[in-house]
Structure 1
Amino acid sequence: MRGTLVHSYLFLRRAIGVIGLLLPVVLIVGGLLADGGLAGSISGYYHGSLRDVFVGAMCAVGVFLISYRGYDRVDEVVGNVAAVAAIGVALFPTAPADADGTERVFGVLHLVFAGVFFLALAFFCLVLFRRSDDTAPTPRKRARNGVYLACGLVIVASLVLIALCALLGLAEALRPALWLETAAILAFGLAWLTKGEAVLADLEG
């Protein structure tokens, strides 16, 4: 029974990681092919031909996170918060350029959910994933902790830079939010794939 649960948790972690790694690539490449251009952000693809891909991926991440059970109550709470935020990101789209009153309200909610989602992911990387029951972690565990630390810092740095770019009014033609969100999502995907032991798994025997 324990072995079955372990394999289930590994599958969930890997599934979340794969979605995180594939989502930006699919949206950016697919958007270029289907719509002939780039969106201003990852969330901006909601308003293009790939809306269903974006919504479906975020809802799938939310469902996987709700199903995920970590080592203790803190893991579960953070996972549930991230799950609700992921689904909120999908259900409350970012505001388009010509947004009306309702769309602007949805846009504000979208930003709140997105911020909570990324902060929860950073907390997973910087704190929860790096914990260990062993007083002497294996070399592979130390290496994984290095990956988690780097991924968490990338997520936090991306959020800070997105806020700075918005405050400084950097040219939208550069699409800073798109590339910074892409970096954060790729880091999130790599961290969860590593947690699923698809990367740097401990050697058996």
Structure 2
Amino acid sequence: MKIDDKEIKIESYDIFTYRRIRRAIGYLGISLPILLVGLSLISLFKTAVQPSISDYYYTNLREIFTGTLCAVGLFLICYKGYGNSSIWKNDNLLTNIAGIMALGVALFPTNPDDFKAKIYTLIPYSEKWLGWLHYGFAALLFLIFALLAINVFTIGQEHETRTPKSILNENNIYRVCGYSIIVFVIMVPIAETFNLFNYSTLVFEALSLFAFGIAWLIKGRALGDKGVIGQKIYQENNPVNTEKVFEE
């Protein structure tokens, strides 16, 4: 089928828009733990380093915590991914659910040490089960992050036949990020149960967000796709490969 130049330009514009959204999601994910911990080390904010990222809800940095999560959630909901007959590979469905989960994590905080000082954004009651909603939203959110990296982001090169493929091929990076998210999330309760080290929850949550952010940045081609990077990561040399435009 013949495709005219106008259609290619429109499709290429859409691809660049998708990439900008992907990069925005990636940068937000990586910046959240860096901002929270970094600002905690500045006496001006009068906030100590917290045991977990979720605990920042009860500090002076609450707006950064909730604002970043809400931004990620809205970007994920607005992001129009591709449909797939399998729900485990349905980009649009998974990103919409992840967006709702991110908003849930932001709006339903974790249970605090002092329930008398508990503040809820939506439901003003000090009930432990409301805090468990936060944990459920967070667990499902990270699970979907892993599914997106492992099952969805790898579709573009699933049937790629060109060889040789570099160890830095994008699909390898996505899988490493996806499986890393799963490992880090599993390590959170293990580290807490066995008291492995201080701030273990904060560290593993941050690592999970870093893995999530890296996957989205690679998908958004934050490093570019020319020259060596294009060859090793994406197996292409041009900034826009019209053969791949319709696969992404």
Taking structure 1 as the reference length, the TM-score comes to 0.91
My pick for the range that moved more, 119-128 or 93-102, is: 93-102
Q: Which residue of 2 aligns with 1:163?
A: 189
Higher gyration radius (CA):
2
Aligned residues: 203
The 2-side partners of 1:141 and 1:124 are apart by: 20
User: How far 1:187 sits from its partner (Å)?
Assistant: 0.7
Secondary structure in structure 2 of the residue aligned to 1:53: helix
My pick for the range that moved more, 146-155 or 125-134, is: 125-134
Deviation string, structure 1 residues 46-80 (Cα, Å, up to 9, x no partner)? 11111000101000000100111223241111001
Deviation string, structure 1 residues 20-50 (Cα, Å, up to 9, x no partner)? 1111100001122123521010111111111
Equivalent in 123, 140, 161 of residue 116 of structure 1: 140
Q: Percent identity?
A: 34
1:180 matches 2:204:
yes
Mapped contact 1:24–1:182 kept (Cα < 8 A): yes
Letter in 2 for 1:161: M
Q: Which residue of 2 aligns with 1:78?
A: 94
Mapped contact 1:31–1:49 kept (Cα < 8 A): no
The 1-side partners of 2:162 and 2:209 are apart by: 28
User: How far 1:3 sits from its partner (Å)?
Assistant: 1.8
Deviation string, structure 1 residues 113-167 (Cα, Å, up to 9, x no partner)? 0001000000011111111264325747961111111111211011111121233
Secondary structure in structure 2 of the residue aligned to 1:135: coil
The 2-side partners of 1:8 and 1:113 are apart by: 28
Mapped contact 2:18–2:220 kept (Cα < 8 A): yes
The 1-side partners of 2:46 and 2:150 are apart by: 37
Higher relative contact order (CA 8 A, sep 6+): 1
The 1-side partners of 2:167 and 2:94 are apart by: 22
Residues 145/199 of structure 1: CA separation in 2 closer, same or farther (3 Å cut): farther
> Mind listing any 5+ residue stretches in structure 1 that lack a counterpart?
none
Letter in 1 for 2:180: V
Residues 137/62 of structure 1: CA separation in 2 closer, same or farther (3 Å cut): farther
Mapped contact 1:23–1:54 kept (Cα < 8 A): yes
Secondary structure in structure 2 of the residue aligned to 1:132: helix
Taking structure 2 as the reference length, the TM-score comes to 0.76
> How large is the Cα RMSD of the aligned pairs?
2.1
> Mind listing any 5+ residue stretches in structure 2 that lack a counterpart?
1-9, 85-89, 117-124, 231-236, 240-248
